[in-house]
Chains A and B, each alone.
Chain A
């Protein structure tokens, strides 16, 4: 086609510009010559024939221009010229470019980083065909909704073939893997047989798990490795298939490695090793136990069935499922089964992150807005300073459109360079954020990475930024009056001044909102950190010890000599002040409840307390935790299996069972024992969460009751790492049948519980500081420009006797007015916006007076500082020189 021919011809002209230019000159010259000949032949004199020929030709330069345009891509040609021009123009003002790049880089970088999280957590969908058909199963119970099921429950749900095409169960947990005598922590998941086919996963090596592996309990001790684990732990060695690794002491044969891109049911979590649920008995209760709730489930809906329809059918089926389960079970009784959308994967805490992430997204958009206003401000000032340049260009015949485009192009170049810097910064920031979140958190680890969507977002944001910041200044510049522009135009300067002040106002307002939000989060975190837990977590290490073989010894603590040996030796360590056993450790994420405890009070009434939290505690537990023993005695060596079963209660439980009476010596029925004797009362304390309300807690005697694991509580001096190392050493040598499962300071456990708040506080403070710094840069720039502009005026004022303080006041008043206006505008907006954060704050009002005060102080001090520094230059103005200049 001739269109293509033309396209390539134009392209070639673009590359051989000079040759084309010569050709055009030769053509036109020859044509003019022939016209001249002709005119002479008609009697026009030779000396005027040349001029006449040019006139007859009709606009020689225009014809050349049109011919040139025909020869090449006009727009592309102009664009290239303009890009070169923009580079030249920008390279002349390095300071401007540097400031702009940094502020844009930070603004766009923060946006990209937060969007990476939003994208990874809230937007991404499961990489399976038709993810909309994937649902998450849950049980609605009288008190709460549970995402967990027992295996018999799951089996019944899976058999609802009228609702689901397929269903998978899975249960993830941290575990210890031992390979060649080397052991390290991994994330381990037990999965049902159809797990891998459900996601359409393929093996990278060997085979994946199938239904046969999962059919008979304990029959196939096999496992599959993640690609990552295969690479890092086995160096990608293909001979890994067939090898045996020990997971929590259970030997499993590796049958394959799953492909690299496989993620699993939850997009933000990664697992290292998968094994069939048929092996559950080796790691915990038997799979068939109806009382053990450990499986989570996803299912694929039958084609044509909508989510509400499926929910309705499942509700109807709930009764039948209930009837087919063992009658003597105690958990998940009377469950109504439900489905919810899981197109974005299994939701263990995604919905918890939604509000915080949206708040952060809002914050970074504000930061970018401030950066954007900064850029616009500098551009307006630059346009003012370059008025003469524009006037000359317009006078030389450049079109206003072309000038507008040239200026916009400068802005785009700047913004895209800033965007590139931003992408780089965002990678660093995202990495840092994930580290911060995951390391301060025992329970969840967040895995997200930027993708094409994130890049598209950044491009979009950059384009928007360039347009918002660049459009007005470029328009204003391109409407410079060609003639009058060479002189000063006071009107447009005044308008530009108003625009600049307006932009500063936007910046201050946004900074007020950001600072207020940050101060609320900081205040709330402070409250969370200073909650009275009922014990002292400072310098306490919690070490959980587990039997390392598949057979767990279910014996009372006192009958496990290895545990006694560990305790004795740990207590001998020089920097251990005190140590004791418990099960579980408080704040560790594990909880135990007894459905009912009952007792008879003095007047013969039987009182009953439902759902009582309990834990097993050894002697000196309360002393180690520094919990007050209010009445009675602690557990002692004499409390042994076979002796009178004893119990210690907390204040809350005592007041519920025996209001106004002394509980010591009273008897309690519970834990299948009729006559537990209360020997002590301790203070109230937090069990699972720092935010929980006061709970009734019972402490059973560790030495009297059968336990399968133990948690060592140590109060130490000095460094936790040293203690941890020594404890591991002691366990290894004194009790080889046991292994240290997990060790962490209680401070870390507490921090894990408030990890989200810590992240929010850190980020909101970061963005608040960024917003403030950018807004102050804006004020600084404005005052500094104003000082330069008003040098002459200052000279006059000083020469007629103005004092230094008067001159300073001149500029301070301007910035203070702007700051005050920003506060007046910002505080009401902030009060409205922060209401969205209500659920994220702990015991802090969204109109927190302390937060408002901090915000005001920061803004006012910052504003004063940002204007005093440049205003001081005005004091150095020499009146004589000032009047001479201009």
Chain B
């Protein structure tokens, strides 16, 4: 797969994706989230951990996710992020907004072609 085909994460959607992932899979560490995203997108998303980390920091500060240090099966210290009640609410809100937006964009693109 060539590099050009990989999609950059759209500004502002990363938070949504992370929230969705945590809602579906339960508490995950940063690596777990990144791996899951790569898997779901079938390597289409160009997302490394260096990009993901600031989003996690931001979400935690907003109180939408909460991180706790635990030991992994490999005996490493890792921060497991879990979605909070406020995060679930935000997720519902953001999902709706995204769907609306996507719908509009889709409609516009359809008219053009």
Contact = CB atoms under 8 A, between A and B. Distances in A.
Q: Do A and B bind?
A: yes
Interface of A: 2, 5-6, 9-10, 24, 26-28, 30-31, 33-35, 37-38, 56-60, 62-63, 66-67, 69-71
B50 A30 contact: no
Contacts, number: 72
Nearest to A38: B31
Contact of B50 (A5, A10, A37, A58): A58
Contacts of B53: 27-28, 31, 63, 66-67
B62 A6 contact: yes
Q: What band does the interface of chain B fall in when counting residues whose beta carbon is under 8 Å from A?
A: 20 to 34
A58 B48 contact: yes
A166 to B, nearest CB: 62
Given A2-B63, A70-B61, A71-B61, A37 B76 contact: yes
Given A66-B54, A67-B53, 19 more contacts: A2-B63, A2-B90, A6-B62, A10-B61, A27-B30, A30-B79, A31-B31, A31-B49, A31-B53, A31-B78, A34-B30, A34-B72, A37-B74, A37-B76, A38-B31, A57-B50, A63-B51, A63-B54, A70-B54
Secondary structure at the A interface, as helix, strand, loop or mixed, is helix
Contact of A34 (B29, B48, B54, B61): B29
B61 A33 contact: no
A30 B67 CA distance: 13
B28 to A, nearest CB: 12
Contacts of A58: 48-51
26 contacts: A2-B63, A2-B86, A5-B61, A5-B62, A6-B62, A9-B61, A10-B61, A27-B30, A27-B57, A27-B79, A30-B29, A31-B49, A31-B78, A34-B31, A34-B78, A37-B76, A56-B49, A58-B50, A63-B51, A66-B53, A66-B54, A67-B53, A67-B54, A67-B57, A69-B54, A70-B57
A398 to B, nearest CB: 22
A33 B79 CA distance: 12
B77 interface: yes
Nearest to A65: B54
Nearest to B61: A9
Contacts of B51: 58, 63
Contacts of B86: 2
Contacts of A26: 77
Interface in B62-97: 62-64, 72, 74, 76-79, 86, 90
Contacts of B58: 70
Contacts of B49: 31, 35, 56-58, 63
A5 B66 CA distance: 14
Contacts of B48: 56-58
A30 B63 CA distance: 22
Nearest to A66: B54
Contacts of A67: 53-54, 57
Nearest to A13: B61
Nearest to B58: A70
Contacts of A9: 61
Contacts of A30: 29, 76-79
Contacts of A37: 74, 76
B31 A35 contact: yes
Nearest to B87: A2
